[in-house]
Amino acid sequence: MELQSYEGRCHCGAIVLTYRTALPGDRWSIRACQCTFCRLHDALSTSDPRGGLDFAIREPELLQRYRFGGRTADFLLCRRCGVYVGAQMSAGGGSFGIVNLHALREPPSGLPPAVAMSYEGESARERQERRMRRWTPVKQAA
Ligand SMILES: [Zn+2]
């Protein structure tokens, strides 16, 4: 199947991303992570381990990396407009990321309802292994 590209960005355009997936909208995985950070942002995460993700930071001084809890990933926010666009982590010589669905300019139609996810109780290693299985390979990291 051919990869489709979806552009995402923060509100002011300082942080841009390109998410590529061959999955039709009705097969996207939409996850409402129940951690306090994601709940505060009302974030919905999506990823495709067979897809690809690039971050393009137009104004590097505006990129805010936020780490919390086990400090295993960088959550990427814009310092000017405050938008949370997605997260990335490095592991096994590569990078893996998720996109905040709300940051995509034109998400596909027919998306399934979000599934509430709680990852409490995972060890740091289990968390990393889950992300390597489920998150999207990042070619151009932030
Ligand atoms: Zn911004």
pLDDT (average), residues 22-32? 97
Q: Name the CA dihedral angle for 21, 18, 139, 10, rounded to a multiple of 10 degrees.
A: -130
Instruction: Please give the domain boundaries of the chain with CATH numbers for all domains.
Output: 4-140 (2.170.150.70)
Q: What is the mean pLDDT of residues 57-68?
A: 96
16 CA distance to ligand 1 centroid (A)? 9
In eight-state DSSP terms, residue 5 is E
Task: Kindly report, residue by residue over 44-54, the tens digit of the pLDDT.
Answer: 999 999 999 99
38 C-alpha to center of ligand 1: Å? 18
Which tens digit of pLDDT belongs to each residue from 72-94? 899 999 999 999 999 999 998 99
Provide the whole-model pTM: 0.93
On whether the CB atoms of residues 2 and 86 are closer than 8 A, the answer is no
Q: Which residues contact 82 (CB under 8 A, 6 or more apart)?
A: 11
Degrees, nearest 5: CA angle 49-11-109: 50
111-121 pLDDT per residue, tens: 999 999 999 88
CA of 1 to the centre of ligand 1 (A): 33
- Which phi and psi angles does 50 have, rounded to 5°? -100, 5
Question: In the chain, helix, strand, coil percent, each to 5?
Answer: 20, 40, 40
Residue 68 Cα to ligand 1 middle (Å): 21
Q: What is the pLDDT of residue 34?
A: 92
- How far is the centre of ligand 1, averaged over its atoms, from the C-alpha of 23 (Å)? 28
3-class secondary structure, 34: coil
C-alpha 61 – ligand 1 centre gap (Å): 11
Q: What is the pLDDT of residue 24?
A: 97
pLDDT at 70: 75
